[in-house]
Structure 1
C-alpha cells in the first residue's frame, strides 16, 4: 500500500482470519543471559510464551516506581509443539529492560514465543554512540542463541521468525529486513527538522553522533531467517535508503503515530511499505501503563513527566490497537505462505 491506511482499511485488516480477539492462554516467562555475546557487552532476553495455566510463580514483570508491571507465570510449563518466534527490541538508547513487557505478553497470548532482547544499556552518550548498529547485531546474535539452545530450539519453528521493534528497536528491525541507513543523512540528522530524541543528550556529552564507525553503520544486517518485520514508530525513518527497503527480504509493516513521521510518504511511494497509523498515539504511549505517582516521580528526579502524560484509558486504547493489529499482521506473514 502506498499511503497510511485509513480507519476503515485498518478495520478490514483486523477482520482477516488468523487471530480472534479473546483467544487467550496462560503466559509464561523465562530469562536467558549470555554475558559473552554481542561484542562482549552481553545479551539478556526475557522470553514470553504460551503456557499451561496454573503453573509457575506469579510475577509482575517490569514493575517499578514509574511503570505498572505485566503479569506472567515464571517458568510455567510451555504448551507443547513448535511455535513461531518474535524477537522484540523496545525503546531508544536509554530505555530500560522489559520496556516491551506488555506487548510481549499480548503476543504470547496470541500463540507466539517472544524474546525481548536487551543488551547492556549505555551508561553515557559515549557508550551509546554505536547503539544504532549494535542493536540489529544484537538481535541476530539473540536468534543464534535461541536456535542453538537445547531447550528453546525444540520449541521454536525456525521457519516462522519475525522481528518487532519500537523506536530505535524499530530501526534495528528494519535493518534485519535489509534496510540500510544513508551515512550522510544520518550524520546530518541532529541538524534537521526531525532530530533524534537523543541529539541533546549526545551534545551534553560532547559527542557527535556522526562520528559513529561508518563501516559498522553501513554494513548490511539483513538476516534471511526473518520473514516479517514490524517497525513501530521507528527512529531515523527519513534516513533509510528507499532502494534498500524496496528490495527487502521480509514482509514489512510500519506502525506510525497519530502524527505522520518524516520519511513515511517517501518510503510508501518508493518502497511500497504500508503504514498503519495508531490513532491518538504518541511515542510514550508505546510504553507500559504508568503508576499513579509515576509522572510526579519523573519530575522530581529530573526525568520527563510527559512519559506518563496520557491517562491509563488512553494508553490502554493504544495498546489494544497495536496488539490486535500486530497479531493480525503476524498471522498473515507467518501462518500463511509468503
Structure 2
C-alpha cells in the first residue's frame, strides 16, 4: 500500500494570526492509480493558526495550525464527503476545522474531480468507495491508527457526498429507481440532470457492477446527510446506525417512506451555504467566469451564522445520539 505524507499546502500564509485553530496535515494515497485520494486531516489543537487551508480567489480558507501537536488519547473519527460533482478539493475545510476543534479527528476526502458528465456518471458508487478507503487508510496507518477510536466512526456529507455517506451507512440503493432519476417527469428534482442532458449523457450508462457493489461499512456507527441527492432511490439506514438528516432551506419530500427522518432544518439557508465564505472579490470573479454570483449567498455575515448553525447541529449530534450509537 502506497500511503505517504505529502507536503502540506497552506494557501495563504498568515504568520501574525493569534487565534487558536485545529491542527492540520494532508495524507495522499496513490495505491489506486486511476483514483488517487488526498485526505485532509484536522484534529484538536491549542496552537495558534499560521495559515489557511482550502482558500482560493473566490472562497476564504479555514484557519489551520499545520503539524500541531496531537492531544493525548484516541479520538472519534468523522469522515467528510463534501459537495456535488464539481466541488473543489477541501470545500469543507470550514466545517472540518470546526468539528475538529470540538474534539474529533476529521478526514475530508478529496478525489479527482470529473472533467465531464461522462466521467461523472460513476461518482454515485465511487464516492462511497472513497469513504471506505479513507477509513481503511487512517485506521491502518501507524501514525493515525493509534490516535483513533475505531468504535466511533461517523460519516458526514453534503449533496452527492451526503448520498455517499448514507450508502456507506447502509441505506440500500434501488438501482432501477436511481437510473430513472433524470427521466422527463423528474429531471428538475436533481441538480445534475441538466448538466448530463446538455452533454448527451444518460444515467442508464452508469456501471451496473458499480451500483451492485454498493454496501454498508459495518464500522460506521453514525451518519449526517445534508441535502442528499437521489434520496428517493435510497432505503432506510439500518438499526444500530444513528442518522441525522439536515436541510439547508425548505426540506424536500423525497423521503417517501420516512426512512431517513428529518431532524434539522435551517430555514434561511440554501445548499450554496455549504460553500465557504466568499472573498471580497469572489462575486465579481464568479461573474467574470460566467459562474453564479449567488454562490456567495446573501452576505459573508449571513453565511458565517449559517455555518455556525450547521456545525453546532452536527457537533451536538456527534456528542449525543452518535456517541450513544457507538457505545451500543
Q: TM-score, normalised by structure 1?
A: 0.86
Q: Say which of 297, 300, 307 aligns to 1:319.
A: 307
1:205 alignment partner in structure 2: 199
The residue aligned with 1:256 is: 247
Change in Cα spacing, 1:224 to 1:25, as seen in structure 2 (3 Å) is farther
Map 1:1-338 → 2, pairs under 5 A: 26-37=21-32, 40-54=34-48, 58-190=50-182, 191=184, 192=186, 194-241=188-235, 245=236, 247-264=238-255, 266-268=256-258, 271=259, 273-336=261-324, 337-338=327-328
CA distance in 2, matches of 1:261, 1:194: 13
Q: Distance in 2 between matches of 1:215 and 1:262?
A: 29
Q: 1:88 to 1:272 in 2, by over 3 A?
A: closer
Count of residues in Structure 1 that have an aligned counterpart in Structure 2? 306
> Counterparts of 1:53 and 1:309 in 2: how far apart (Å)?
31
Residues 173 and 214 of structure 2 are in contact (CA less than 8 Å); yes or no, is this contact kept in structure 1? no
Structure 1: distance between partners of 2:239 and 2:306: 28
Secondary structure (helix, strand or coil) at the match of 2:305 reads helix
Q: Distance in 1 between matches of 2:223 and 2:317?
A: 9
- Give TM-score scaled by structure 2 length: 0.88
Distance in 2 between residues matched to 1:46 and 1:25, nearest whole Å: 18
What is the aligned partner in structure 2 of residue 12 from structure 1?
Answer: none
Output the aligned Cα RMSD.
1.8
Query: Relative to structure 1, is the Cα distance of residues 288 and 267 closer, same or farther in structure 2, using a 3 angstrom cutoff?
Result: farther
> After TM superposition, what 4+ stretches of structure 1 lie above 4 angstroms from structure 2?
none
Structure 2 residue runs without a partner (length 5+): 1-18
Q: Report the 3-state secondary structure (helix = DSSP H, G, I; strand = E; otherwise coil) of the residue aligned with 2:164.
A: helix
Partner Cα distance (1:262, 1:106) in 2: 30
Cα distance, 1:206 vs. partner?
1.6
Cα-to-partner distance string for 1:231-275 (whole Å, 9 max, x where unaligned): 01111112213xxx15355111100122121314x242xx26243
- Contact kept in structure 2, 1:224 and 1:249, CA below 8 Å: no
- The secondary structure found in structure 2 opposite 1:95 is coil
Q: Structure 1 residue 194: deviation in Å? A: 4.0
**Any gaps of 5 or more consecutive residues in structure 1?**
1-23
Distance 1:174 1:130 in 2: 17
